[in-house]
Chains A and B, each alone.
Chain A
């Protein structure tokens, strides 16, 4: 079966122009990354700041073009540098951002934010649009009365739900989630993760989930890719990567993650008493 998303040797370079005093230089944000994701699965991309994961997210969402390499969505090659995106292709990949406080237009009501993708891409009548938006709003756990409110009246977790609802309005095949729960509290994080799992089951969605939080990754991922300075240093199934990480950096990452289990606490307290 064709994977929903396939990337072959994606490269992204930024050229920073020089000025009178400095020479221009090229930043290699993504240095040849390859992976694929099947329908209904979740690929987690893990890395720290500067590793290129957000740049990769923008390439997959077709916001920025890749400098070289191929990207195939549902088997079809996409290159936004060469040709303009068709509306059909545009609808296939949607994105949810990290910061819930900047992701919704502060001057628009929730209903308008949700119906905007429909207005742009379909010829549905106003009533149909409203019905569809209302249905999606309820599906992400909000209520009818929220439809006519403004974003500043909602909490971070609620805004992320609205952002997820917006991303799903066009029935995408692939959802890119750029650290969607990093800015949320623990209990809210749990709610949003549950919601994402429910939606994935119901709509057979494919996720590319970017995160730096290994405990979240271990929980939701089917496959894991670890990025470091623009390169994919580890790529495999969740079980493989977590049980036997191959690369040095992955091992460092695992070792650095704070552990919240009883045995680690006992060990630490014992070390302290002995000192």
Chain B
């Protein structure tokens, strides 16, 4: 049974200009132990689809799907209180801006222990021990001391490690990472990605990485989904995608990479593709 199974997901927002479809008919499957990368540019709906699956969208969003199953359980029809028992515990998510994702008013120790208290019901001593264990797991030096620090006292990379620790605290089956390294420096990015991959392999989690960076995709993914303006354009295993991309949009994306530049000007998507052509060339 697939860990996460989504079929025909659609998300519509109410805006001042009328309804806006951020996600239009996206389907995907993730198995345990697998790394799926969702790649797309801004406006592709990649973050929105995952937020919709977690139930984290504002009231102005209307979420519909033929199937939205986590381990066979229907997430769409669930009541918010039931969903809260799963989200954060069995499915966890980490976000793009690590310092902004943590509550600036509380110590990081308090924030990680809060998750342990609510989802696992551990007592104070057990929580502290587990928090220290988690900080060591994600490679934060001096964990006992760090528990008392506030987010603004830590660097971006360390905050992201804290976020990963919080996400892993209840041994989730699925981890969704939304642009986890975009706001970080290159050297820190490598450390965080290595950490994520190592933890994924050790715990056998399903991992969904949302990114716009093809390099990150190449270094982490087993399978890749390419999205554009809310629709899925292509899905393939990572090697096939890079070696022989089937849809024109993916080919255009790959050729726009400066590393793949052949002349002294980069080919741009606009030069040969319109929206309709992109959607028509979608390979489901």
Contacts and interface: CB of A to CB of B under 8 A. Distances in A.
- Asked if the two chains touch in their complex, CB atoms less than 8 Å apart, one says yes
Contacts of B252: 187
Contacts of A265: 218, 238-239, 242
Contacts of A266: 239
B42 A185 contact: yes
Contacts of A48: 185-188
User: Secondary structure at chain A's binding surface: helix, strand, loop or mixed?
Assistant: helix
Interface residues of A, number: 36
A260 B221 CA distance: 11
A186 interface: yes
B269 interface: yes
B219 A253 contact: no
B259 A215 contact: yes
Given A187-B41, A219-B258, A257-B186, A194 B268 contact: yes
Contacts of B216: 258
Given A252-B187, A262-B243, A218 B259 contact: yes
Nearest to A258: B215
A259 B145 CA distance: 36
B257 A258 contact: no
Interface-central residue, A156, A187, A214, A252, by most chain B CB under 10 Å: A187
A264 B217 CA distance: 12
Interface in B119-136: none
Interface in A42-82: 48-49
Contacts of A191: 268, 270
Interface in B224-281: 238-239, 242-243, 252-254, 256-261, 264-270
Interface string A2-18: 00000000000000000
Nearest to B42: A185
B71 interface: no
Interface in A201-233: 212, 214-216, 218-220
A33 interface: no
A185 B212 contact: yes
Interface of B: 41-42, 156, 185-190, 193, 201, 212-219, 238-239, 242-243, 252-254, 256-261, 264-270
27 contacts: A48-B187, A186-B41, A186-B214, A186-B257, A187-B256, A187-B270, A189-B256, A190-B267, A191-B268, A197-B265, A212-B186, A215-B259, A216-B258, A219-B266, A256-B190, A257-B186, A257-B215, A258-B216, A259-B219, A259-B259, A260-B217, A260-B242, A260-B254, A260-B260, A264-B218, A265-B238, A275-B201
Interface of A: 48-49, 156, 185-191, 193-194, 197, 212, 214-216, 218-220, 252-253, 255-262, 264-266, 268-269, 275
